[in-house]
Chains A and B, each alone.
Chain A
Amino acid sequence: MDDAAQLAVSSLLTGPGVTLFASTGDWRLDSAFGVLLADLSARFMVRPGFSFYDDGPAKNAKALTVSAFPGTRGTVLFGTKLLRWALAADVHGDLFALCVCAHEFAHIVQNNTPFRRRLQQGQQTKRPLELHADFLAGYFFGSRGASYTPAHLIALGKAWQAIGDTNFTHPEHHGTPSERLGAIETGFRIAQDRPEFDVLEMCEIGARYLKV
Protein backbone atom coordinates (compact mmCIF):
# COMPACT_ATOMS: atom_id res chain seq x y z
CA MET A 1 0.00 0.00 0.00
CA ASP A 2 1.21 3.45 -0.95
CA ASP A 3 2.65 5.46 1.99
CA ALA A 4 0.86 8.64 0.97
CA ALA A 5 -2.42 6.81 0.87
CA GLN A 6 -1.73 5.28 4.23
CA LEU A 7 -1.01 8.70 5.66
CA ALA A 8 -4.03 10.38 4.11
CA VAL A 9 -6.38 7.68 5.34
CA SER A 10 -4.75 7.42 8.75
CA SER A 11 -5.24 11.09 9.37
CA LEU A 12 -8.97 10.65 8.89
CA LEU A 13 -9.30 7.52 10.94
CA THR A 14 -8.06 6.68 14.36
CA GLY A 15 -4.48 7.75 13.80
CA PRO A 16 -1.23 6.41 12.42
CA GLY A 17 -1.95 2.85 13.56
CA VAL A 18 -4.46 2.15 10.77
CA THR A 19 -3.37 -0.60 8.43
CA LEU A 20 -4.58 -0.85 4.85
CA PHE A 21 -4.63 -4.05 2.78
CA ALA A 22 -4.77 -4.33 -1.00
CA SER A 23 -6.16 -7.86 -0.81
CA THR A 24 -8.51 -9.99 1.27
CA GLY A 25 -5.93 -12.77 1.10
CA ASP A 26 -8.27 -14.90 -1.02
CA TRP A 27 -7.86 -14.44 -4.76
CA ARG A 28 -11.43 -15.56 -5.50
CA LEU A 29 -12.81 -13.00 -3.10
CA ASP A 30 -10.51 -10.33 -4.54
CA SER A 31 -11.75 -11.20 -8.00
CA ALA A 32 -15.40 -10.97 -6.89
CA PHE A 33 -14.70 -7.61 -5.28
CA GLY A 34 -13.04 -6.41 -8.49
CA VAL A 35 -16.19 -7.16 -10.48
CA LEU A 36 -18.37 -5.61 -7.79
CA LEU A 37 -16.32 -2.42 -7.60
CA ALA A 38 -16.36 -1.97 -11.36
CA ASP A 39 -20.13 -2.44 -11.37
CA LEU A 40 -20.59 -0.02 -8.47
CA SER A 41 -18.39 2.61 -10.11
CA ALA A 42 -20.35 2.39 -13.33
CA ARG A 43 -23.81 2.38 -11.78
CA PHE A 44 -23.09 5.06 -9.19
CA MET A 45 -21.02 7.12 -11.63
CA VAL A 46 -18.20 7.63 -9.14
CA ARG A 47 -14.57 6.57 -9.00
CA PRO A 48 -13.39 6.35 -5.42
CA GLY A 49 -10.24 4.59 -4.25
CA PHE A 50 -10.86 1.33 -2.44
CA SER A 51 -8.95 -0.59 0.16
CA PHE A 52 -9.48 -3.11 2.90
CA TYR A 53 -8.37 -2.01 6.34
CA ASP A 54 -7.95 -3.34 9.83
CA ASP A 55 -11.15 -2.25 11.50
CA GLY A 56 -9.96 -3.38 14.91
CA PRO A 57 -12.56 -4.64 17.35
CA ALA A 58 -15.34 -2.60 15.70
CA LYS A 59 -16.53 -4.21 12.48
CA ASN A 60 -16.85 -1.32 10.08
CA ALA A 61 -16.67 0.17 6.60
CA LYS A 62 -16.14 3.81 5.73
CA ALA A 63 -16.50 6.34 2.96
CA LEU A 64 -13.98 9.16 3.17
CA THR A 65 -13.94 12.47 1.38
CA VAL A 66 -10.16 12.30 1.05
CA SER A 67 -8.83 10.90 -2.20
CA ALA A 68 -6.08 8.58 -1.06
CA PHE A 69 -5.24 7.11 -4.45
CA PRO A 70 -4.22 8.94 -7.63
CA GLY A 71 -6.97 9.43 -10.19
CA THR A 72 -9.76 8.77 -7.70
CA ARG A 73 -12.27 10.92 -5.86
CA GLY A 74 -13.03 9.89 -2.30
CA THR A 75 -12.05 6.62 -0.67
CA VAL A 76 -13.99 3.57 0.46
CA LEU A 77 -12.52 1.38 3.16
CA PHE A 78 -13.87 -2.04 3.97
CA GLY A 79 -12.95 -3.58 7.33
CA THR A 80 -11.40 -7.04 7.13
CA LYS A 81 -13.14 -8.06 10.36
CA LEU A 82 -16.48 -6.91 9.00
CA LEU A 83 -15.88 -8.92 5.84
CA ARG A 84 -14.85 -12.07 7.70
CA TRP A 85 -17.78 -11.72 10.08
CA ALA A 86 -20.27 -11.21 7.23
CA LEU A 87 -19.06 -14.25 5.33
CA ALA A 88 -19.02 -16.44 8.43
CA ALA A 89 -22.33 -15.26 9.87
CA ASP A 90 -24.52 -16.54 7.06
CA VAL A 91 -24.19 -18.62 3.93
CA HIS A 92 -25.48 -15.57 2.02
CA GLY A 93 -23.23 -13.12 3.87
CA ASP A 94 -21.66 -12.12 0.55
CA LEU A 95 -24.83 -10.19 -0.28
CA PHE A 96 -24.58 -8.30 2.98
CA ALA A 97 -20.96 -7.42 2.16
CA LEU A 98 -22.06 -6.36 -1.32
CA CYS A 99 -24.71 -4.04 0.10
CA VAL A 100 -22.32 -2.58 2.68
CA CYS A 101 -20.00 -1.77 -0.19
CA ALA A 102 -22.88 -0.20 -2.12
CA HIS A 103 -23.85 1.77 0.99
CA GLU A 104 -20.33 3.24 1.20
CA PHE A 105 -20.30 4.04 -2.52
CA ALA A 106 -23.63 5.79 -1.95
CA HIS A 107 -21.89 8.04 0.57
CA ILE A 108 -19.33 8.88 -2.12
CA VAL A 109 -22.21 9.84 -4.42
CA GLN A 110 -23.65 12.02 -1.67
CA ASN A 111 -20.23 13.60 -1.11
CA ASN A 112 -19.82 14.41 -4.80
CA THR A 113 -23.28 15.99 -5.14
CA PRO A 114 -25.36 18.53 -3.23
CA PHE A 115 -27.21 15.65 -1.56
CA ARG A 116 -24.80 15.41 1.35
CA ARG A 117 -25.55 18.99 2.37
CA ARG A 118 -29.26 18.57 1.75
CA LEU A 119 -29.41 15.43 3.87
CA GLN A 120 -27.42 16.97 6.71
CA GLN A 121 -29.08 20.35 6.82
CA GLY A 122 -30.83 20.96 10.13
CA GLN A 123 -30.31 17.35 11.26
CA GLN A 124 -29.15 16.38 14.73
CA THR A 125 -28.06 12.89 13.69
CA LYS A 126 -26.63 11.08 10.68
CA ARG A 127 -29.94 9.24 10.21
CA PRO A 128 -31.09 10.83 6.89
CA LEU A 129 -27.63 10.52 5.38
CA GLU A 130 -27.37 6.87 6.38
CA LEU A 131 -30.91 5.88 5.39
CA HIS A 132 -30.38 7.59 2.04
CA ALA A 133 -27.25 5.47 1.56
CA ASP A 134 -29.31 2.39 2.51
CA PHE A 135 -31.90 3.38 -0.08
CA LEU A 136 -29.18 3.66 -2.75
CA ALA A 137 -27.69 0.34 -1.65
CA GLY A 138 -31.15 -1.17 -2.21
CA TYR A 139 -31.21 0.48 -5.63
CA PHE A 140 -27.89 -1.13 -6.52
CA PHE A 141 -29.00 -4.49 -5.17
CA GLY A 142 -32.22 -4.34 -7.19
CA SER A 143 -30.72 -3.02 -10.42
CA ARG A 144 -27.98 -5.61 -10.94
CA GLY A 145 -30.20 -7.82 -13.05
CA ALA A 146 -29.49 -10.71 -10.68
CA SER A 147 -32.28 -12.95 -9.47
CA TYR A 148 -32.42 -13.65 -5.76
CA THR A 149 -33.95 -16.59 -3.97
CA PRO A 150 -36.20 -16.06 -0.93
CA ALA A 151 -33.27 -17.27 1.22
CA HIS A 152 -31.02 -14.51 -0.21
CA LEU A 153 -33.61 -11.83 0.51
CA ILE A 154 -34.39 -13.05 4.01
CA ALA A 155 -30.69 -13.28 4.92
CA LEU A 156 -29.94 -9.79 3.65
CA GLY A 157 -33.07 -8.31 5.23
CA LYS A 158 -32.29 -9.80 8.63
CA ALA A 159 -28.64 -8.69 8.50
CA TRP A 160 -29.60 -5.18 7.42
CA GLN A 161 -32.22 -4.89 10.11
CA ALA A 162 -29.65 -5.99 12.69
CA ILE A 163 -27.35 -3.04 11.98
CA GLY A 164 -30.05 -0.56 12.96
CA ASP A 165 -29.81 1.14 16.33
CA THR A 166 -32.10 2.91 18.74
CA ASN A 167 -29.75 5.65 19.96
CA PHE A 168 -32.22 8.20 18.62
CA THR A 169 -30.48 11.29 19.95
CA HIS A 170 -26.88 10.20 19.41
CA PRO A 171 -25.22 12.11 16.55
CA GLU A 172 -24.08 8.77 15.09
CA HIS A 173 -27.64 7.36 15.02
CA HIS A 174 -28.03 5.54 11.68
CA GLY A 175 -31.73 4.71 11.85
CA THR A 176 -33.79 2.10 13.66
CA PRO A 177 -33.77 -1.55 12.50
CA SER A 178 -37.15 -1.04 10.88
CA GLU A 179 -36.11 2.20 9.16
CA ARG A 180 -32.94 0.67 7.79
CA LEU A 181 -34.79 -2.34 6.43
CA GLY A 182 -37.50 -0.08 5.01
CA ALA A 183 -34.97 2.13 3.23
CA ILE A 184 -33.06 -0.69 1.54
CA GLU A 185 -36.30 -2.48 0.60
CA THR A 186 -37.80 0.65 -0.93
CA GLY A 187 -34.68 1.36 -2.99
CA PHE A 188 -34.74 -2.27 -4.14
CA ARG A 189 -38.43 -2.09 -5.11
CA ILE A 190 -38.08 1.11 -7.10
CA ALA A 191 -35.00 -0.23 -8.90
CA GLN A 192 -36.97 -3.30 -9.92
CA ASP A 193 -40.15 -1.43 -10.86
CA ARG A 194 -38.47 1.52 -12.58
CA PRO A 195 -35.10 0.36 -13.97
CA GLU A 196 -34.84 3.45 -16.17
CA PHE A 197 -33.76 5.67 -13.26
CA ASP A 198 -30.07 6.44 -12.89
CA VAL A 199 -28.28 7.04 -9.61
CA LEU A 200 -28.90 10.79 -9.53
CA GLU A 201 -32.61 10.35 -10.09
CA MET A 202 -32.59 7.72 -7.37
CA CYS A 203 -30.79 10.19 -5.09
CA GLU A 204 -33.67 12.59 -5.54
CA ILE A 205 -36.29 9.86 -5.03
CA GLY A 206 -34.41 8.67 -1.95
CA ALA A 207 -34.35 12.18 -0.49
CA ARG A 208 -38.09 12.50 -1.07
CA TYR A 209 -38.66 9.09 0.47
CA LEU A 210 -36.92 10.43 3.59
CA LYS A 211 -38.90 13.67 3.29
CA VAL A 212 -35.69 15.71 3.16
Chain B
Amino acid sequence: MRAHTTIATALTLALIVGAASARAQAERKCPDGGPAYFGVCPNDKPAANQLQRQLEQLANFPKDVPPKQVASQLEVILRATTGRQLYDIVSPYDKSSLQSVPDIGVELFEYRKAYYAYRQQQLEFQDRQLSRIGAIATQHVPDAWKVYLNYIFLRQFGRDPESIKKAGEVFAFGFSWSEAEPMFQTLSKEPDTAASFVRLVNEHTRLDAMAEKLLQRYR
Protein backbone atom coordinates (compact mmCIF):
# COMPACT_ATOMS: atom_id res chain seq x y z
CA MET B 1 0.00 0.00 0.00
CA ARG B 2 2.77 2.37 1.00
CA ALA B 3 4.75 1.43 -2.11
CA HIS B 4 1.69 2.30 -4.23
CA THR B 5 1.35 5.65 -2.51
CA THR B 6 5.03 6.38 -3.05
CA ILE B 7 4.83 5.47 -6.72
CA ALA B 8 1.69 7.59 -7.16
CA THR B 9 3.36 10.54 -5.42
CA ALA B 10 6.49 10.18 -7.53
CA LEU B 11 4.40 10.06 -10.69
CA THR B 12 2.39 13.10 -9.66
CA LEU B 13 5.53 15.07 -8.90
CA ALA B 14 7.12 13.98 -12.17
CA LEU B 15 4.03 15.15 -14.04
CA ILE B 16 3.99 18.48 -12.25
CA VAL B 17 7.69 19.06 -12.89
CA GLY B 18 7.40 17.93 -16.52
CA ALA B 19 4.41 20.14 -17.25
CA ALA B 20 5.91 23.20 -15.58
CA SER B 21 9.30 22.72 -17.27
CA ALA B 22 7.70 22.21 -20.67
CA ARG B 23 5.54 25.27 -20.20
CA ALA B 24 8.47 27.42 -19.07
CA GLN B 25 10.52 26.11 -22.00
CA ALA B 26 7.75 26.82 -24.49
CA GLU B 27 7.23 30.29 -23.10
CA ARG B 28 10.91 31.18 -23.28
CA LYS B 29 10.97 32.15 -26.97
CA CYS B 30 9.07 35.11 -28.34
CA PRO B 31 7.58 35.14 -31.83
CA ASP B 32 10.25 37.70 -32.81
CA GLY B 33 12.97 35.22 -31.82
CA GLY B 34 14.00 37.12 -28.69
CA PRO B 35 13.84 35.76 -25.12
CA ALA B 36 10.65 35.82 -23.06
CA TYR B 37 10.69 36.42 -19.33
CA PHE B 38 8.08 34.56 -17.27
CA GLY B 39 6.23 34.06 -20.54
CA VAL B 40 6.19 37.78 -21.33
CA CYS B 41 7.85 39.10 -24.48
CA PRO B 42 9.54 42.50 -24.14
CA ASN B 43 8.41 43.62 -27.60
CA ASP B 44 4.86 42.44 -27.19
CA LYS B 45 1.96 44.66 -27.97
CA PRO B 46 -0.98 44.05 -25.62
CA ALA B 47 -3.57 44.17 -28.42
CA ALA B 48 -1.63 41.70 -30.53
CA ASN B 49 -1.24 39.43 -27.49
CA GLN B 50 -4.93 39.46 -26.75
CA LEU B 51 -5.73 38.86 -30.39
CA GLN B 52 -3.36 35.90 -30.55
CA ARG B 53 -4.98 34.38 -27.47
CA GLN B 54 -8.39 34.71 -29.13
CA LEU B 55 -7.11 33.17 -32.35
CA GLU B 56 -5.62 30.25 -30.42
CA GLN B 57 -8.94 29.76 -28.70
CA LEU B 58 -10.83 29.73 -31.99
CA ALA B 59 -8.26 27.48 -33.67
CA ASN B 60 -8.38 24.87 -30.94
CA PHE B 61 -11.78 25.24 -29.27
CA PRO B 62 -14.14 26.63 -31.93
CA LYS B 63 -17.30 25.59 -30.09
CA ASP B 64 -16.27 27.80 -27.17
CA VAL B 65 -16.33 30.80 -29.49
CA PRO B 66 -19.88 30.86 -30.87
CA PRO B 67 -20.48 33.29 -33.73
CA LYS B 68 -22.23 36.52 -32.85
CA GLN B 69 -25.79 36.88 -34.08
CA VAL B 70 -25.36 39.99 -36.16
CA ALA B 71 -24.70 38.29 -39.46
CA SER B 72 -26.90 38.22 -42.54
CA GLN B 73 -29.49 35.45 -42.86
CA LEU B 74 -27.50 33.60 -45.49
CA GLU B 75 -24.40 33.57 -43.25
CA VAL B 76 -26.48 32.06 -40.47
CA ILE B 77 -27.82 29.32 -42.73
CA LEU B 78 -24.38 28.35 -44.04
CA ARG B 79 -22.90 25.66 -41.85
CA ALA B 80 -19.23 26.59 -42.14
CA THR B 81 -18.82 29.19 -39.42
CA THR B 82 -15.05 29.52 -39.04
CA GLY B 83 -14.85 32.51 -41.34
CA ARG B 84 -17.60 34.27 -39.46
CA GLN B 85 -16.07 33.46 -36.07
CA LEU B 86 -12.70 34.77 -37.21
CA TYR B 87 -14.31 37.98 -38.44
CA ASP B 88 -16.01 38.40 -35.05
CA ILE B 89 -12.56 38.24 -33.44
CA VAL B 90 -10.64 40.50 -35.80
CA SER B 91 -13.29 43.13 -36.48
CA PRO B 92 -12.75 45.13 -33.25
CA TYR B 93 -9.02 45.56 -34.00
CA ASP B 94 -7.42 48.34 -36.00
CA LYS B 95 -5.00 47.90 -38.87
CA SER B 96 -1.78 48.27 -36.86
CA SER B 97 -2.89 45.80 -34.15
CA LEU B 98 -3.85 43.23 -36.77
CA GLN B 99 -0.65 43.71 -38.71
CA SER B 100 1.46 43.33 -35.57
CA VAL B 101 0.40 39.68 -35.17
CA PRO B 102 3.50 37.66 -36.05
CA ASP B 103 3.59 35.84 -39.40
CA ILE B 104 -0.05 36.32 -40.37
CA GLY B 105 -0.64 39.99 -39.47
CA VAL B 106 -0.84 41.32 -43.04
CA GLU B 107 -3.12 38.47 -44.12
CA LEU B 108 -5.35 39.03 -41.08
CA PHE B 109 -5.90 42.64 -42.07
CA GLU B 110 -6.62 41.56 -45.67
CA TYR B 111 -9.05 38.98 -44.30
CA ARG B 112 -10.84 41.61 -42.22
CA LYS B 113 -11.27 43.82 -45.29
CA ALA B 114 -12.46 40.92 -47.46
CA TYR B 115 -14.98 39.65 -44.92
CA TYR B 116 -16.26 43.16 -44.28
CA ALA B 117 -16.91 43.60 -48.01
CA TYR B 118 -18.55 40.18 -48.16
CA ARG B 119 -20.85 40.95 -45.25
CA GLN B 120 -21.88 44.27 -46.77
CA GLN B 121 -22.73 42.50 -50.03
CA GLN B 122 -24.70 39.93 -48.04
CA LEU B 123 -26.70 42.59 -46.23
CA GLU B 124 -27.36 44.56 -49.42
CA PHE B 125 -28.50 41.38 -51.15
CA GLN B 126 -30.71 40.55 -48.19
CA ASP B 127 -32.29 44.03 -48.28
CA ARG B 128 -32.99 43.70 -52.01
CA GLN B 129 -34.53 40.27 -51.54
CA LEU B 130 -36.67 41.41 -48.61
CA SER B 131 -37.95 44.33 -50.70
CA ARG B 132 -38.92 41.94 -53.47
CA ILE B 133 -40.62 39.58 -51.01
CA GLY B 134 -42.46 42.52 -49.49
CA ALA B 135 -43.75 43.45 -52.91
CA ILE B 136 -45.00 39.92 -53.63
CA ALA B 137 -46.25 38.81 -50.20
CA THR B 138 -49.90 39.25 -49.32
CA GLN B 139 -49.11 39.88 -45.65
CA HIS B 140 -47.19 43.01 -44.77
CA VAL B 141 -45.37 41.58 -41.78
CA PRO B 142 -41.58 42.16 -42.08
CA ASP B 143 -40.82 39.25 -39.71
CA ALA B 144 -42.68 36.93 -42.06
CA TRP B 145 -40.68 38.27 -45.03
CA LYS B 146 -37.49 37.17 -43.27
CA VAL B 147 -38.93 33.69 -42.91
CA TYR B 148 -39.81 33.64 -46.62
CA LEU B 149 -36.23 34.62 -47.34
CA ASN B 150 -35.00 31.77 -45.18
CA TYR B 151 -37.26 29.42 -47.11
CA ILE B 152 -35.92 30.73 -50.41
CA PHE B 153 -32.32 30.24 -49.32
CA LEU B 154 -33.01 26.69 -48.21
CA ARG B 155 -34.67 25.97 -51.54
CA GLN B 156 -31.68 27.49 -53.35
CA PHE B 157 -29.54 24.95 -51.55
CA GLY B 158 -31.67 22.23 -53.12
CA ARG B 159 -33.86 21.33 -50.16
CA ASP B 160 -37.36 20.21 -51.16
CA PRO B 161 -40.44 21.94 -49.65
CA GLU B 162 -41.53 18.86 -47.75
CA SER B 163 -38.23 18.41 -45.90
CA ILE B 164 -38.21 22.09 -44.95
CA LYS B 165 -41.75 21.82 -43.67
CA LYS B 166 -40.95 18.65 -41.72
CA ALA B 167 -37.84 20.13 -40.14
CA GLY B 168 -39.91 23.04 -38.86
CA GLU B 169 -37.16 25.42 -39.89
CA VAL B 170 -39.50 28.13 -41.12
CA PHE B 171 -42.47 29.40 -39.25
CA ALA B 172 -43.73 32.81 -38.19
CA PHE B 173 -46.92 34.79 -37.86
CA GLY B 174 -47.91 35.91 -41.33
CA PHE B 175 -46.05 33.13 -43.08
CA SER B 176 -48.04 30.96 -45.45
CA TRP B 177 -46.81 27.70 -46.90
CA SER B 178 -49.02 28.10 -49.93
CA GLU B 179 -47.36 31.40 -50.71
CA ALA B 180 -43.76 30.32 -50.01
CA GLU B 181 -43.14 28.02 -52.93
CA PRO B 182 -44.60 30.29 -55.65
CA MET B 183 -42.50 33.11 -54.17
CA PHE B 184 -39.38 30.99 -54.49
CA GLN B 185 -40.26 30.06 -58.06
CA THR B 186 -40.69 33.73 -58.96
CA LEU B 187 -37.55 35.02 -57.27
CA SER B 188 -35.28 32.17 -58.37
CA LYS B 189 -35.96 33.15 -61.93
CA GLU B 190 -34.78 36.67 -61.35
CA PRO B 191 -31.13 37.04 -62.43
CA ASP B 192 -30.07 38.95 -59.29
CA THR B 193 -31.29 36.22 -56.91
CA ALA B 194 -29.62 33.27 -58.58
CA ALA B 195 -26.37 34.97 -59.57
CA SER B 196 -25.89 36.81 -56.28
CA PHE B 197 -26.72 33.70 -54.31
CA VAL B 198 -24.07 31.63 -56.09
CA ARG B 199 -21.49 34.41 -55.90
CA LEU B 200 -22.04 34.96 -52.18
CA VAL B 201 -21.95 31.27 -51.33
CA ASN B 202 -18.70 30.92 -53.27
CA GLU B 203 -17.25 33.92 -51.47
CA HIS B 204 -18.31 32.42 -48.15
CA THR B 205 -16.52 29.18 -49.03
CA ARG B 206 -13.40 31.08 -50.09
CA LEU B 207 -13.31 33.15 -46.88
CA ASP B 208 -13.93 30.11 -44.73
CA ALA B 209 -10.98 28.33 -46.34
CA MET B 210 -8.87 31.46 -45.85
CA ALA B 211 -9.82 31.56 -42.16
CA GLU B 212 -8.95 27.89 -41.71
CA LYS B 213 -5.56 28.52 -43.28
CA LEU B 214 -4.85 31.47 -41.01
CA LEU B 215 -5.84 29.52 -37.93
CA GLN B 216 -3.53 26.64 -38.86
CA ARG B 217 -0.75 28.78 -37.42
CA TYR B 218 -2.25 28.30 -33.93
CA ARG B 219 -3.12 24.61 -34.04
Contact = CB atoms under 8 A, between A and B. Distances in A.
A164 interface: no
Contacts of A161: 35, 37
Interface in B15-30: 16-17, 19-21, 23-25, 27-28
B24 A156 contact: no
A158 interface: yes
Which of B20, B23, B25, B27: most chain A CB closer than 10 A? B20
Contacts of B36: 157
Given A153-B37, A157-B37, A205-B13, A190 B42 contact: no
Nearest to B10: A208
Contacts of A28: none
Contacts, number: 60
B141 interface: no
B130 to A, nearest CB: 49
Contacts of B28: 178, 181-182, 185
Nearest to A187: B20
Given A150-B44, A182-B28, A189-B24, A209 B38 contact: no
Contacts of A157: 35-38, 40
A153 B40 CA distance: 7
Interface in B25-78: 25, 27-28, 35-40, 42, 44
Contacts of A154: 37-38, 40, 42
Interface in B103-119: none
B194 interface: no
Given A150-B44, A205-B13, A208-B14, A156 B20 contact: no
B39 to A, nearest CB: 8
Interface residues of B, number: 20
Nearest to B36: A157
B38 A190 contact: no
B20 A189 contact: yes
A186 interface: yes
A108 to B, nearest CB: 23
Contact of B20 (A153, A178, A193): A193
A188 interface: yes
Given A153-B40, A188-B38, A182 B24 contact: yes
B23 to A, nearest CB: 6
Interface of B: 13-14, 16-17, 19-21, 23-25, 27-28, 35-40, 42, 44
The 10 tightest CB contacts between A and B, nearest first, are: A157-B37, A153-B38, A150-B40, A185-B24, A189-B20, A190-B20, A154-B37, A186-B24, A153-B40, A209-B17
